[in-house]
Amino acid sequence: MWKRYFIAYKPFHVISLIFLIIFCLYTVLWTAISSKIKADLLNNIKEKIGESGKIEVASIETYGFPGKWGFVLNSVRSSGTVSDFLNNAYVWKWDSNAIQVEINPLNSQELTIVSKGKNNLLIFESKGRQLVKVTLENLESQVSQITKTNYSLDFLQIENSRIYLSNGSKLAQINRAKLSITASQGEQKNSVHSEVSSNLLINKLKIFPKLNVPFGDTITELKIKSLISGNIVQPITLSSVSNWRNDGGTVELKEFKINYGPVLGTASGTLALDKNLQPLVALSLRIKGASKLIQRLVEIGLVPPGNGSLLQIFIKLKEGKGAGLELPLTIQDGLLNVHQIRVMDVPLIIWR
């Protein structure tokens, strides 16, 4: 009887045995690769943050079988130096209770990084003076290498971020922010990416110092979608920025949206630099609440009363009922103009 049973179900047992062997081989392979990644993880991170970078962890735990390779880095302390930005050097330090790193087995170049709880980022001058402290919660990001020279930050999301000045006073607070970036490598050997597209969304940005602003300290929503074209050669200096400008480097503002007090505005256009490396801006602007905005800008002294009166007349002639106002906005030679009406002076950029 048992013999007949075995013969009758022999195909089933063979298939089960094959699946068992495959599962065992997969388990061994997954474990071996996981151990290799775990052993090299800190060195790979250190390589990414540069020769001056350091990273220390209390322990590394593995999880994720049988799917993604996952690692938990406990009590993380890392630091590094940015030495090629406008001839200045800055030191950064990052502390986190725990960071989760996940690697997609179908695409080893895709990383998901999650850090729950409180994270601290400190930025110092090279001489040791602290410039800024940033605390944030619930950081999550995903990074992909699409091709050898094409990278993508699929998203970087943070919650409850607070920014402090060196004296400990609070500068700003962000309830939630999300950023995505895609960059393609330039042709020159030492150039950074020739095209960088980005999409930034910020919910509830609050500024704490008392500034001369029209409608209080909180921006409800801010969205910026842009495309930067042109090679910037490292290190980033006044000379490399000038070369970027001379080679036709531009910033295409695909979408700008702001919800601030009674003002709701959207814009698109281009940004560049003139021969003195000052901003050249040409935007198409649609805005609701323009009359209230101009009134407040005059009241706080940012727009001269005469210019404000001309703008108010123009707004009454052009603004439709509830539809908002469409108008061109330009910045050139240190002046901000709306439909050929001078609004205000724009502060010069002081390059160091």
pLDDT in tens, 296-332: 989 888 888 988 898 888 888 777 655 678 889 999 9
Task: Measure the CA–CA gap between 46 and 41, rounded to whole angstroms.
Answer: 9
Helix H or strand E encompassing 191: none
Type of residue numbered 199:
N
What pLDDT shows up at residue 174? Answer: 93
Q: Is 273 helix (H, G, I), strand (E, B) or coil?
A: strand
Q: Is the peptide bond before 347 cis (omega within 30 degrees of 0)?
A: no
Q: Is the peptide bond before 66 cis (omega within 30 degrees of 0)?
A: yes
What pLDDT shows up at residue 238? Answer: 82
Angle of helix 305-318 relative to helix 290-299, nearest 10 degrees, comes to 170
Q: Is the peptide bond before 262 cis (omega within 30 degrees of 0)?
A: no
The residues, any chain, with a CB within 8 Å of residue 60's CB and separated by 6 or more, are 38, 41, 42, 71, 72, 73, 74
How many angstroms separate the first and last alpha carbons of the chain? 92
Instruction: Write out the chain's pLDDT in tens, 352 residues.
Output: 545 554 555 566 677 778 888 888 888 888 888 888 888 888 877 777 777 788 889 998 998 888 788 899 999 999 888 776 656 778 889 999 998 988 877 776 777 888 878 899 999 887 778 889 999 888 888 877 655 556 677 778 888 899 998 888 888 999 999 998 887 765 555 555 578 889 999 999 998 887 778 888 899 999 999 999 887 776 677 888 888 898 889 999 999 999 999 999 999 999 999 999 999 999 999 988 888 888 998 988 888 898 889 888 888 877 765 567 888 999 999 999 988 888 889 988 887 7
Compute how many other C-beta atoms are within 10 angstroms of the C-beta atom of residue 214.
19
What pLDDT shows up at residue 145? Answer: 64
How many CA atoms lie within 13 Å of 51's alpha carbon, on the beta-carbon side?
A: 1
What pLDDT shows up at residue 173? Answer: 93
For residue 195, list its beta bridge partners.
Answer: 184, 229
> For the domain 55-211, what is the CATH code?
2.60.450
The tokens 């990273």 sit on which residue? 55
The tokens 């800024």 sit on which residue? 132
Question: Domain residue spans in the chain?
Answer: 55-211, 233-351
| Predicted structure pTM score | 0.80
Task: Measure the CA–CA gap between 189 and 241, rounded to whole angstroms.
Answer: 17
